[in-house]
Amino acid sequence: MIDAKIPKGDLDNKWVDYKGHCKLVNPANKRKMEVIVVGTGLAGASAAASLGEMGYKVKAFCFQDSPRRAHSIAAQGGINAAKNYQNDGDSVFRLFYDTIKGGDYRSREANVHRLAEVSSNIIDQCVAQGVPFAREYGGLLSNRSFGGTQVQRTFYAAGQTGQQLLIGAYQALERQVALGNVQMFARHEMLDVVKVDGKAKGIIARNLVTGELERHFGYAVLLCTGGYGNVYYLSTNAMGSNVTAAWKAHKQGAFFANPCFTQIHPTCIPVSGDHQSKLTLMSESLRNDGRIWVPKNVGETRKANEIPDADRDYFLERRYPAFGNLVPRDVASRAAKERCDAGYGVGTSKQAVYLDYAAAIERYGKIEISKKGLSNASQEEIIALGKEVVKEKYGNLFTMYAKITGENPYEVPMRIYPAVHYTMGGLWVDYELQTSVPGLYALGEANFSDHGANRLGASALMQGLSDGYFVIPYTLGNNLADEIYNAPIPTSHPAFEAAEKIVAERIAKLKNINGKQSVESFHKRLGKIIWNECGMSRTEAGLKQAIADVQALKKEFWSDVRIPGEINEYNPELDKANRVADFIELGELMCVDALAREESCGGHFREEYQTPEGEALRDDENFMYVAAWELKNEHEWALHKEELKYEVIQPSQRNYK
Which CB, 140 or 342, lies closer to another protein?
Answer: 140
Q: Amino acid identity, residue 500? A: E
Distance (Å, whole) CA 202 – CA 219: 7
What is the b/e burial string over 362-394, where b = at least 16 CB atoms within 10 angstroms of the residue's CB?
A: bebbeebbeeeeeeebeeeebbebbbebbeebb
Per-residue interface string for the shown chain with another protein, residues 27-56, x marking contact by CB under 8 A:
-------------------x--xx--x---
Distance (Å, whole) CA 184 – CA 198: 27
Which CB, 85 or 629, lies closer to another protein?
Answer: 85
Pairing type for strands 57-61 and 182-185 reads parallel
Q: Amino acid identity, residue 305? A: N
Contacts to another protein from residues 512-531, by CB under 8 A:
516-518, 520-521
Distance (Å, whole) CA 26 – CA 42: 27
DSSP secondary structure string, 320-358? -TTTGGGS-HHHHHHHHHHHHHTT---STTS--EEEE-H
* 110 phi and psi angles, rounded to 5 deg: -60, -40
Per-residue interface string for the shown chain with another protein, residues 432-471, x marking contact by CB under 8 A:
-------------------------------------xx-
The four Cα atoms 299, 300, 303, 308 give a dihedral, to 10 degrees, of: -170
Which CB, 19 or 640, lies closer to another protein?
Answer: 19
Which CB, 46 or 325, lies closer to another protein?
Answer: 46
Q: Amino acid identity, residue 78? A: G
**Contact stretch for another protein (CB under 8 A) within 59-67, 194-202, 297-305, 476-484:** 59-67
Comparing C-alpha atoms, which of 263, 42, 286 is closest to residue 146? 286
Which CB, 366 or 562, lies closer to another protein?
Answer: 562
Contacts to another protein from residues 286-325, by CB under 8 A:
none
Contacts to another protein from residues 567-626, by CB under 8 A:
569-570, 572-573
Task: Out of 115, 123, 453, 526, name the contact with another protein by CB under 8 A.
Answer: 123
Which CB, 129 or 551, lies closer to another protein?
Answer: 129
Could you tell me how far CA 364 lies from the centroid of its own chain?
A: 33
Contacts to another protein from residues 398-417, by CB under 8 A:
399-400, 403-404, 406-407
- Strand residue runs (E) in 368-485: 414-423, 426-427, 440-442
Q: Is residue 371 near another protein by the rule CB under 8 A? A: no
**Least distance in angstroms from the C-beta of 474 to another protein:** 11
**Region of 51 on the Ramachandran plot (φ > 0 left; ψ -120 to 50 alpha; else beta):** alpha
Q: Is residue 363 near another protein by the rule CB under 8 A? A: no
**Contact stretch for another protein (CB under 8 A) within 167-175, 330-338, 548-556, 628-636:** 167-175
Q: Is residue 240 near another protein by the rule CB under 8 A? A: yes
Task: Out of 87, 277, 376, 650, name the contact with another protein by CB under 8 A.
Answer: 277
**Contact stretch for another protein (CB under 8 A) within 71-79, 305-313, 545-553, 603-611:** 71-79
Q: What sign for the dihedral angle of Cα 346, 352, 358, 363?
A: positive
Contacts to another protein from residues 178-237, by CB under 8 A:
178, 184, 186, 209, 236
Residue 135 DSSP label: B
- Cβ-Cβ contacts under 8 Å for 178 (sequence gap 6 or more): none
Task: Out of 24, 26, 212, 239, name the contact with another protein by CB under 8 A.
Answer: 239
Contacts to another protein from residues 126-165, by CB under 8 A:
126-130, 132-141, 157-158, 160, 163-164
Which CB, 135 or 372, lies closer to another protein?
Answer: 135
Contacts with another protein: how many residues (CB under 8 A)?
A: 83
Task: Out of 71, 114, 144, 604, name the contact with another protein by CB under 8 A.
Answer: 71
